[in-house]
Structure 1
């Protein structure tokens, strides 16, 4: 038998799957970890414990549960949250915690200065993206300015997937899709690192070697084999960001296909036949040469459901909290009895790109229940998602097919509210495990065990969520956008206090 291994490191949990040559999941494993928030606006992971530690634990769990010989694993692919910023020393040892993707807004000053210094139009022309909290370049500049003692020891800047691949193979690599988030030091036209816009951040010698996601980056080293139980010499792909692997897992491949990932954040990827350049969205080369992707993402989504559970349902156990909260929310009518919720608990990414935005419950009175508040949280995330879908329509790329994936697809109120407010049908496939399954499929493609179109056979469609019309949603969506615009100055002033 031949198998492939896929492991994904998420914001709050890592997951792994062992899959046979027909796409059947033989074993699964998962391990939770925390997102560290040392201060408001910061978000971090521990590279050794949360990234590599999870990988080792999950690999050994999968091998033990499946009784599959490590020699029968023909390829490994990884994905992880991204883009992250991790400085390492000449031996590849982390020098600090990994700084996370757009949920970490510490480089606000550097974003503004670089944008002013280089010019937004020039950045868009070379990088395909405006500088935002999602951009790694400003975070590297933040490191130089604020942690000079760490910068003096830094040999390379890695991201989360790059670090995993290094630990497995000893190779420093990054895929083009991930690298496009390193603005302003990646040229999307030349598909290469660049110092054309600024030499202030980091030279190419400090950055990983560029590859495509399904290229073989290297092979499992003897040291990694001892730690993980994998066979020495097993091929390891370059890997990619978790959201890209998640999109692959449900068949996002034709132009107009849009993946909507319901995870700790809502993340959206739409495959396009040409580059989409708009400062409200993100652009990257897709995982395969000659293809393109347009991305968007909220800063906090599933994170908010965890926050709500932990602070407003303390009497409930972790096992029954979400089912009970869902039942209470179902008893609240669409519109949450007149409540509006802004989900900007870590600022917001697309389409407003406002690191100073704040979360808000608006319209509270003494009749509101916990169920109303929880439903308002879900509808607030759905409103934010609809704002993104509206942006795609504005730029002339409305979704042709929306494929929903991730743990949030089990939350029927959240899923239906998103379809209703954004007015899009959503396809849900049989397997919603997400990025780790996409990784296993990409690993199979890398060694010739599968072709990209085989994903429709590996993961067929299970159901379709059709949008319904609710006048209250149409009204509240407009009020949702107005509430943000009307309170921007208050949110900004609070941030300066």
Structure 2
């Protein structure tokens, strides 16, 4: 039997899976870690400990649980959160903690300055994206300005999957999908690094080699084999960002198909027939040459539920706190007894792209309880999803199929709120483990053992979440207030940010 290993670095947890040639899961493993927030608006990981350390632990755990001979693993597929900014020296050693994706808003000033210098039209036409907290370019400029001694020592700027590939193979690589998040340093028009900003930010010499996701980046080195338990010489694919691997795992293959990932953040990917140019959304070439993707995401979702559990449900057993709060939320009615939450606890990404946005719990009175507030948090995230779905429609993109994936799909209040508020059905496949499963499949594609369409055989549809028409009036009213609430408090949010 042939086997494929997939490991994904998440915001709060690393997950891994070992899959056989029929797509059956042989073993799974997970390892928690913490997102560091040293200052408001910052979000970091220790790459050696949280990324590589977790990879080593997960790899060894999967091999131990499955008792599979490492020599029978045909290929390894890595993915991780992104786009991130990790400066490393010539040996690939991190020079500081990794600066995370759009949840880290430290480069707000650089975003404004670069947008003014470059111009929104050029950004959209050449790079495919406006500059937001999701963009790596402004964060590199922040590094150059605020840590000049580290910048001078920087050999390469890596992402999470790039770092794993280097630790495994010794090569510095990045896939095109992830690289497009390095705005303005990547040309979506020419599918290459752009040297126009070498003096302003940095040149291509500090950036990894570009590959497509299923290209073989290299093979496991003897040193990496000793650390991970894998066989030296095992092929390692270039890999990608976690959300893209998630989309693959649930069969998103054709234009018009959309994935909603319920994780630490909500991330949405829609495949499109052509390149979408809209400053409110993100663009990237898809994982395979000639295809296009239009992306969006909220800054906080699962992160917000983590925050609530830690701050306001500390007496609950951590092992079942999620289930208890979810049951409590079912006792509150749709609309959470008039509560509306703006889930902007780490600023917000699409569609408002406002790093100074603040979280709001609106409508509180003395009758409200924990169940009302927790349900309102989940519904607030769902309103944010609906705001994005509206934005896609305004950009001329209507989803034909919406596939849901991630741990949040197990929370019925949350997943049903998304369908009820958007008015869209969501298909949920039998395996919702997500990115690590997608990585294993991509590894199998890379070595020619399966075709892309085989993911639908590996992971068939299990159920569909359908919207409840009786809740349209409640949620329409609440969503209208949701949008007006941000519009009417935006200036105050900026003012309180100082």
CA contact (8 A) 2:269 2:295 kept: yes
1:483 corresponds to: 485
Q: Does 1:473 align with 2:494?
A: no
What is aligned with 1:134? 134
CA distance in 2: counterparts of 1:385 and 1:41, whole angstroms: 22
* Residues 62-98 of structure 1, C-alpha deviations (whole Å, 9 max, x = no match): 0000000000001001000000000001111100000
Which residue is 1:17 aligned to? 17
Q: CA deviation at 1:324?
A: 1.4
- Give the match for residue 221 of structure 1: 221
Aligned residues: 496
Q: What residue number does 2:415 align with?
A: 415
Following TM superposition, by how much is the alpha carbon of 1:126 offset from its aligned partner in structure 2, in angstroms?
0.5
Does structure 2 retain, via aligned residues, the 8 Å contact 1:44–1:100? yes
Q: Report what 1:298 is aligned to.
A: 298
Match in the other structure for 1:92: 92
1:68 & 1:215 partners in 2: Cα distance?
A: 25
What is the CA deviation profile of residues 292-337 of structure 1, one whole-angstrom value per residue up to 9, with x for unaligned ones?
Answer: 0000000000001111111111110111211111111111000000
Rounded Cα–Cα distance in structure 2 between residues aligned with 1:451 and 1:297: 29
Return the alpha-carbon distance in structure 2 between the equivalents of residues 367 and 320 of structure 1.
Answer: 26
Partner residue in 2 for 1:257? 257
State which drifts further: 322-331 or 136-145. Answer: 322-331
Range that drifts further, 465-474 or 50-59: 465-474
1:198 CA drift (Å): 5.7
Give 1:32-431 correspondences, 5 Å limit: 32-196=32-196, 199-431=199-431
**Structure 1 CA distance for aligned equivalents of residues 76 and 323 of structure 2:** 35
Contact kept in structure 1, 2:425 and 2:467, CA below 8 Å: yes
Question: Which runs of structure 1 show a deviation greater than 6 angstroms over 4 or more consecutive aligned residues?
Answer: none
Residue-by-residue CA offset, 1:328-357 (whole Å, 9 max, x unaligned): 111100000010100000000000000000
In structure 2, distance between residues paired with 1:75 and 1:255: 28
CA distance, structure 2, for counterparts of residue 373 and residue 77 of structure 1 = 40
2: CA distance, partners of 1:199 / 1:332: 56
Structure 1 residue 196: Cα displacement: 2.6
Counterpart CA distance in 1 for 2:26 and 2:186 is 39
Q: Matches of 1:196 and 1:338 in 2, distance apart? A: 51
SS at match of 1:418: helix
**C-alpha displacement at 1:149, in angstroms?**
1.3
Distance apart, 1:22 and its partner CA: 0.5
Asked whether the 8 Å contact 1:135–1:183 carries over to 2, the reply is yes
Work out the CA distance in 1 between the residues paired with 2:430 and 2:292.
26
Q: What TM-score, normalized by structure 1, do the two folds share? A: 0.99
SS in 1 for 2:336: coil
Give the whole-Å Cα distance in 1 for the aligned partners of 2:409 and 2:277. 30
> 1:451 aligned to 2:451?
yes
What's the offset of the Cα at 1:199?
Answer: 3.2
SS of corresponding position for 1:424: coil
Moved more, 149-158 or 344-353: 149-158
Deviates more, 1:474-483 or 1:191-200: 191-200
Gaps of 5+ in 1: none
Conservation of the 8 A alpha-carbon contact between 2:197 and 2:203: no
CA-to-partner distance for each residue in 1:14-68, whole Å, 9 max, x for gaps?
Answer: 0000000000000000000000000000000000000000000000000000000
Question: In 1, distance between residues paired with 2:324 and 2:28?
Answer: 26
Q: Aligned with 2:182: secondary structure?
A: coil
SS at match of 1:180: helix
CA RMSD of the aligned region, Å? 0.7
